[in-house]
Structure 1
């Protein structure tokens, strides 16, 4: 009898955990609240707002090259991991690649962008960002995606011409 009670208790606990994970899956994948406001932008840095087809507002952070290269360099378009702030990603890329212009996308639902994050929305917003930047990117655009952002970069590479793509700690299933 005690074995039956133990089995039912374990099964009930397992069912409860699975239910909680199922209910919270969007928050677990896109924990916008953990990606609080980033650090201050350096001189010349700015935020650019883009309107989406469904009336939301997504924000890009743009940082100019700190060094003027002898030949034009591709613009770097960054897509952060699920708990990263786009300002912090842009600053990191700016430190690593000072001769490149750097832009990073604040996902929907991640301040200061509006709306709710979803895979479809991120893919659409990445395309909108690319289209907005393409006229300024004389040497092309390189997409850089970290973790969840790697999926956004790969989707963008299937939809728009890119000079290159860099995936940092990508995942193979979600």
Structure 2
């Protein structure tokens, strides 16, 4: 092999390795987009979680019913409170602000978010024995893991994915995402363990989560456990603006 070709190969390999390293270091900034809370004076619950202070927006109501909500990767969950309040009028609402979001301290990661979700469920379960868990987009990966490990009464997954690893591989097809990615959110692994009535809600024109990804996740649930529904005309970020979406949340399994 000519010397110039060897040198070029080495340069290209070094550049590729450098890009892989840069992707590895920046990966969480490509997954999580922390938002400040739109309301600073709303009632909150603060969880002490492994050195972090996790802020949970709460709307208290009497009774045993509760909803725990996990939002998208760029969502201010407190802004979702009015819609959830209307959909679940007789439920206490717990909306978790991920680490780094909405006044919570610390940095988000898959392990941290799932651990915080378990802590929140255990806290809520002391007062509420009938807990519906709702996970939207990124939050669907948190919700499905929680439902596989705790006695959730009902699970609702909004614009869910089969795994973030698969989505990332589609976005970066020439990189070894399998080896680089730390937060894989492989929801399919947990779906098959769930015995709770589950609703998967798709947006007809979702431009973020491919329909094939949601259908793949649906296929991993045991027969008779999950239902898949599409909200007509909806896109990924505006699905909650459609009356059909709110009706789905209200409808019991």
Tell me the TM-score normalized by structure 2.
0.54
1:50 has 2:41 as partner: no
* Structure-to-structure mapping, 1:52-67, within 5 angstroms: 52=49, 54-65=50-61
- Alignment of structure 1 residues 10-159 onto 2, 5 Å: 15=16, 21-32=23-34, 35-39=35-39, 45-52=42-49, 54-65=50-61, 72=63, 74-138=65-129, 140-159=130-149
Q: Spell out, residue by residue over 1:52-87, the C-alpha distance to the aligned partner (whole angstroms, 9 max, x if none).
A: 1x221101111134xx7xxx5620100000000121
Cα distance, 1:46–1:23 mapped onto 2, change above 3 Å: same
Shift of 1:89: 2.5
For 1:40 and 1:113, locate their aligned partners in 2 and report how far apart those are by CA, in whole Å. 12
Equivalents in 1 of 2:20, 2:89: separation in Å? 46
Deviations 1:37-62 (A, max 9, x none): 22466xxx51111101x221101111
Q: Relative contact order (C-alpha < 8 Å, sep 6+): which is higher?
A: 1
Q: Look up the SS of the partner of 2:151 in the other structure.
A: coil
| Preserved CA contact (<8 Å) 2:138 2:160 | yes
Secondary structure of 1:24's counterpart equals: helix
Among 158, 163, 168, the alignment partner of 1:173 is: 163
Task: State the TM-score, normalizing by the size of structure 1.
Answer: 0.77
Per the alignment, in what secondary structure is the counterpart of residue 49 of structure 1? strand
- Structure 2 unmatched ranges of 5 or more: 1-8, 165-253
Is the 1:74–1:163 contact (alpha carbons within 8 Å) kept by the matching residues of 2?
Answer: no
Task: Work out the number of aligned pairs and report it.
Answer: 154
Q: Which moved more, 1:18-27 or 1:119-128?
A: 18-27
